[in-house]
Amino acid sequence: MGLLDTLLSMVGGNSNAEGAGHPLGSALGSLLEKSGGMQGLMEKFQQGGLGDTFASWVGTGENQGISAEQIQKVLGSEPLQAAASKLGLDPSQISGMLAEYLPMVVDKLTPTGKIDGSSNLAGGLASLLPSLLSGLGGGRGSA
């Protein structure tokens, strides 16, 4: 629960929640940009042998899980170091965070089950991040 607490405290202090202004949104946006957008990220996963996993996140069915180790293998250490530096976290924490949240982020950024190369990823992240984080802060078991 420590990583979730860290994330929520980083964004929770800013009540005018614009996703692009959050460190997490910035780190995710940077990761997507350095990967070549959603299409480039998909290609990285295909090259790493996890194309089916990524496809499950894009598609409209259930999202397949991924481990922090698989994230490290696919993305490499450089982008994870950069994201960790932006958030003031350890790269292994970033890998764990991405393993947990990247499937949800990709799923929400591809609502039609397809990658739209013309979509505004930064804008999508900016609008997605506050709702994702508020959902995380609300707990899972209670109505």
- What's the pTM value of the predicted model, to 2 decimals? 0.72
- Select, from the ranges 75-79, 117-121, 137-141, the one with the highest average predicted confidence (pLDDT): 75-79
Residue 103 lies in a domain: yes
d(CA 73, CA 75): 6
Full domain range(s) for residue 44? 28-110
The amino acid that residue 81 corresponds to is Q
Residue 59 lies in a domain: yes
Residue 20 lies in a domain: no
The whole-number pLDDT of residue 129 equals 66
pLDDT band, very low/low/confident/very high, at 47 (cuts 50, 70, 90): very high
d(CA 53, CA 70): 11
d(CA 107, CA 118): 17
Q: Count of domains in the chain?
A: 1
CATH number, domain with residue 44: 1.10.10.690
Residue 63 lies in a domain: yes
